[in-house]
Structure 1
């Protein structure tokens, strides 16, 4: 039975950066208000569905209020898409294997799925992985539809113990395996442009690691810190990759996106305009497939917003959710 866990822990699920801002971005779209029951709103996991709708999850939405929302970015309208009584969804992505939407539930440690119509909910995976229940944050699919999940255990640990993991779950929901243990609270996770390895954003160390995988993706062949990120005293959050292989890094408690190439060079920083009433987090990004239209989820004291800007490269499946 799932149990909703809304607490200060959820404040640490998202992430910051540096450098100069480009030209002004279009006016952001307000999606949610702060929930009276939970005292906050936290948008995550933007993903475009086949009909062109942009879905986002609201991590802190209370029972019965929309946990997943659907946005028409052209008409700038928002409507409920899916809810339940217990989840705290932190990401969303569409499987290339069965076309369903997969959602990471930080509250229960499970992975749920729903149809692209917002119905037919199923628990895809639950239980322990190597003896421990996950705290799943983001996910990525390989081309065959197997899941790779950032288990961000330890992100709220004042001792800073490296207890996080990258977990692989077969597309049929079979036995999950730990690909990489003892990590400093991994958060963002995306395949590189060639689907040969994973970019993993380490929340507790403000760096992006590259994990090269063996053929079939069942083990890590190489692992190294690839980018050291200046997070200004805050933390890195989700990431995404465009068709050119550029890595987009989002942040907790700062409305900023930093872009690096696949060699680790800093290419650009996008500072997003937000109200001057407290900290805002730019948590996650989707680039509409085949275009350079980028959409970022941003949340803070005035509510949850979607900002847009022009990406450096075209959107691909790895840019769409996570």
Structure 2
């Protein structure tokens, strides 16, 4: 996709609890209403996509993305609406399809779903699933979901839910197929599975240099070619925050980001985040934090390095920021950053397609 034709830009949020102008953390209801306001603004200023994530933790307000998306659908006109991600392992694929098909109807065909395992594991005990079945649950449920997308009677059997025999699922979408991505954090097996089912690949790049994910993009494209599945655009999403200056953006973003990052790290065995690591990731890694020009130049470089067709900014990943600062980030992203990125990408020819990969097939 070397001319970047059709390049899309999106915004992602987990419904983090914001602060009001007095510095007090707001209620869950206020957080969800703030998300609606941010989505309406994103729609008004021309952002291509808006995604809300599923979490079951005290710092996040959104546990049912489809419900929030249904509300957004009736208040917007053109923006594509998706999850980021839907934790399929601890949900039922039939119900996930039905809920997103409903959002698709309410939005007049603008729904999409990003399937994934999620950054946290609270949903497993909450909904009665055993973490020892972590891999099996996702493998079986994504297989069933792939059959449901054909929107024909399904016969399917697995070990993690009841079998289906000629089961017809409603409502149907008007287009005949729900746009589906798989969120991948960085394993070759996940990339190959995504290619196998003909789904779009969304790379969750939350740390380190974006270029280190180039082998995953190459692997996906080689796999789709060999498997005969569609060669769909690859997406990436990363945390970021935009303010008037680089220093202002970092000072507003860092405190909340450290809290969230350390909670994820505790689950994955990472040491607590140090300020110097944060600064390094802002400088040359996968944190898009700074002024309009800084963020735009960094986004353009990442898009070119990975040759992706979509870039989503997780604009609330810092948590507990003021609602007004979040709205300002949304506004700056859509009205200034995205146009600047497009200009930067048009200034110089794209490099030739990469060949080869670090992974075999």
TM-score by length of 1: 0.32
In terms of fraction of residues, the more strand-rich structure is 1
TM-score by length of 2: 0.29
In terms of fraction of residues, the more helix-rich structure is 2
